[in-house]
Amino acid sequence: MSIPSHKSSAKKTRSVHAPQRSNGKLRVAAILEAAAAVIAEKGYEAATMAEIAARSGTQIGSLYRFFPNKQSLGDTIIVSARENLEVVFDNFDAGVKALSIRALADNLPALLLEQVFTKPALLKLLDASEDWSVKREEFRIAVVRRIAKTLTIYRSNLPKKSAEHIALVVLANTKAMVTHQKLPDFALRTLEEFRDMTRLYLQSRLGSSMSVKKDISS
69 interacts with DNA by CB under 7 A: yes
How would DSSP label each residue in 12-33? Answer: HHHTTSPP----HHHHHHHHHH
Amino acid identity of residue 124, one-letter, is: K
**What is each CA distance from 138 to 52, 90, 132, 173, 203, in whole angstroms?**
25, 19, 10, 19, 29
95 interacts with DNA by CB under 7 A: no
25 interacts with DNA by CB under 7 A: no
Q: Which does 154 bind (CB under 5 to 8 A by kind): its own copies, DNA, none?
A: none
Give the nearest distance from C-beta 27 to DNA in angstroms: 5
Give the nearest distance from C-beta 167 to DNA in angstroms: 34
Give the nearest distance from C-beta 95 to its own copies in angstroms: 26
**What is each CA distance from 217 to 101, 193, 196, 204, in whole angstroms?**
13, 17, 13, 14
**What is each CA distance from 48 to 29, 60, 78, 100, 188, in whole angstroms?**
18, 11, 18, 47, 35
Binding site for its own copies (CB under 8 A): 1-4, 7-8, 23-25, 28, 41-43, 45-46, 66-72, 75-76, 79-80, 124, 127-131, 137, 140, 161, 165-166, 168-169, 172-173, 175-176, 179-180, 183-184, 187, 189-190, 193-194, 196-197, 200-201, 204
For residues 139 and 76, what is the distance between their CA atoms, to the nearest angstrom? 12
For DNA, how many residues bind (rule: CB under 7 A)? 36
129 interacts with DNA by CB under 7 A: no
Give the nearest distance from C-beta 19 to its own copies in angstroms: 17
